[in-house]
Amino acid sequence: MLRIGILGDIGSGKSFVAKKFGFPVFNADNEVSKIYQKDKKIYHKLKKILPNYVHSFPINKIEITNAILANEHNLKKIIKVVHLEIRKKLKKFLKKNKNKKIVILDVPLLLENKINEKKDILIFVKSKRDIVLKKLKKRKNFNQKLLKKFKKIQLPLDYKKKIANYIIENDFLKNSVNKDVKKILKLIL
C-alpha cells in the first residue's frame, strides 16, 4: 500500500486535492469534528485539563477556540489529548484499507506530529496567498488570531515544499488539479 501525505498551508485546498486522487482519504479534521461530537471520553479529558473553557457535550468548537486564544499552552494540551485519538483512528483506517493500492493522508500536522513514514509520498499543495486568505475569510468560524496560533505550531512551508516529492499548484480549478493528480498517479503506479 502506498501512503500519500498531503502537505500545504491552512486553506490551501489540501482536502480538495486529497479527494481528487480517488482513493480512500483519512481526513484528520473530519475525525476531530467527529470526536468533538461523539467521544465523551475525550470530552472528559478536555474538561479536566481545561475546566474554565470546556463546559458542554458535544464539545463546542467556540469553547476550544476560546481556550486556544486565552493561552498558548492550551493548544498544546488539546493537541496532546486529541492527537492520541487521531492516531488510533488512523491505525484503524490503515488496517481497514490495507488491501488498497493507495491511501491518502489529509492530516494537517502530519510532519509536526511525526505521523508520516519515510517511504510516504509527500505532495505539497501550493496556492496563492491572497486567494487562500479570501477563502479562509469566508469560513464561518474564521479567526485571524487563531490562524496565527495554528501557523506557529506548523513547520515552515518552505521546508514542507522542499521535502515534498511532488508539488500541485492549486488554482482552485478542478481541471488543473485533476491533470496534476493524473500525472502524479502515472509516475507512482
- Cβ–Cβ under 8 Å, residues 56 and 102: no
Lowest mean pLDDT among 44-58, 92-106, 118-132, 134-148: 134-148
| Range 16-45 average pLDDT | 96
How high is the pLDDT of residue 139? 81
How high is the pLDDT of residue 56? 92
Query: Over the stretch 136-167, which tens digit does the pLDDT of each residue have?
Result: 888 877 888 888 888 888 999 999 999 999 99
Per-residue cell: 165: 516529492
Query: Over the stretch 173-185, which tens digit does the pLDDT of each residue have?
Result: 778 899 999 999 9
- Cβ–Cβ under 8 Å, residues 86 and 31: yes
Query: Over the stretch 81-114, which tens digit does the pLDDT of each residue have?
Result: 999 999 999 999 999 999 999 999 999 999 998 9
Q: Which residue has the cell 473553557?
A: 53
- Cβ–Cβ under 8 Å, residues 18 and 104: yes
Alpha-carbon distances, residue 70 vs 63, 75, 99, 152 (angstroms):
11, 10, 45, 15
Q: What percent of the chain has pLDDT over 90?
A: 77
Q: DSSP string covering 120-185, please?
A: -EEEEEE--HHHHHHHHHHSTT--HHHHHHHHHTSPPHHHHHHH-SEEEE--S-HHHHHHHHHHHH
**Band of the pLDDT at 2, cuts 50, 70, 90?**
very high
